[in-house]
Amino acid sequence: MITCFDIGGTAIKSARATSPDDIQALGRVPTPRDDFEAFAATIGRIATEATGNDNSLIAISLAGVVDSDTGCITCANIPCINGRRLAADLEEALKRPVLIANDADCFALAEAMMGAGRGHRVVFGAILGSGVGGGVIIDGKILTGAGGFAGEWGHGPISKTLAGDPSVAIPRFACGCGQTGCIDAICSARGLEKLHHYLHGIEASSTEIINAWTSGDAQAARTIDCHVDILSDALALVVNVLGASIVPVGGGLSNSLPLIERIDAAVRRRILRKTDTPLVVQAQCRIEPGLIGAGLLGLDYENTSI
């Protein structure tokens, strides 16, 4: 039995896992953002209450980058763990084994093993939400890559400057990573809103834009046309490079099935492998994929360590 956690800047969610089919959510508590001792104590207390065992494994899905070479964490939302070798520090504080993975990687693992990616050897889990990210699963294992950055297709100055039909000039927006022209900056939920304002001078939320599009609004349709054109170029390249046979999508934008279907059709027109089978699909693990992924990560570690 292990305790798994999905940790963000606001809340720590936890679950008890005994098998891939038995991952039971336990609840949520506020994240101690500025006090590492309080952070570690919270994790330890929940794990002990969950398993009754002071030595059981802890597996964590974290909203941050885990450097696969050094174990150091980059996590701006939780200052007390930023820059720490978190797994090692927690193991020292709690005297129990700790595994940590990026939340997008855990999402991708959940989809590969329990969701839309079941039966597929290479799965690319894409996140389209407040940011654009992803995770790569090959033969049921997370591909971490150098520095822990595998799957980060949202970043890099590659956003096209002509998009839509008929084409219109699109600027390359500045991205929070420090670059200009990232997919994250224009294809995330906030990016969709920036694109809509650029094209039409209208302030609207991503949900309002999508709802207007599905209701037949011409301006929203123009925005979606440009958005899908930009996004699908980048995603098709990812599919070609990885050879992924399925791309489950999570994040807030994935709640729109018409949008996912539109992206799927556009990506399949652009990839080298021609198929009539849906490739870009809604994620099936709609509830707590971070916890599911962390649980699967921990259970796999226990099984391979026996």
- DSSP secondary structure, 230-298, as one string: HHHHHHHHHHHHHT-SBEEEESGGGG-HHHHHHHHHHHHHHSSS--SS--EEE-S--S-HHHHHHHHHH
pLDDT for residue 306 is more than 60: no
Q: pLDDT, tens digit, for every residue of 14-47?
A: 999 999 989 999 999 999 999 999 999 999 999 9
pLDDT for 63 equals 87
Q: Record the pTM.
A: 0.94
pLDDT for residue 68 is more than 90: no
Residues 215-234 as b or e (16 or more Cβ within 10 Å = b): eeeebbbbbbbbbbbbbbbb
With CA atoms as reference, report the closest residue to 298 among 14, 8, 11, 10.
14
Domains with residue ranges and CATH for the chain: 2-102+287-305 (3.30.420.40), 116-282 (3.30.420.40)
pLDDT for residue 157 is more than 80: yes
Mean model confidence pLDDT for the chain: 95
Q: pLDDT, tens digit, for every residue of 194-222?
A: 999 999 999 999 999 999 999 999 999 99
pLDDT for 205 equals 98
Q: pLDDT, tens digit, for every residue of 232-278?
A: 999 999 999 999 999 999 999 999 999 999 999 999 999 999 999 99
Q: What gap in Å lies between CA 194 and CA 213, rounded to an integer?
A: 16
pLDDT band at 305 (very low <50, low <70, confident <90, very high): low
End-to-end CA distance of the chain: 13
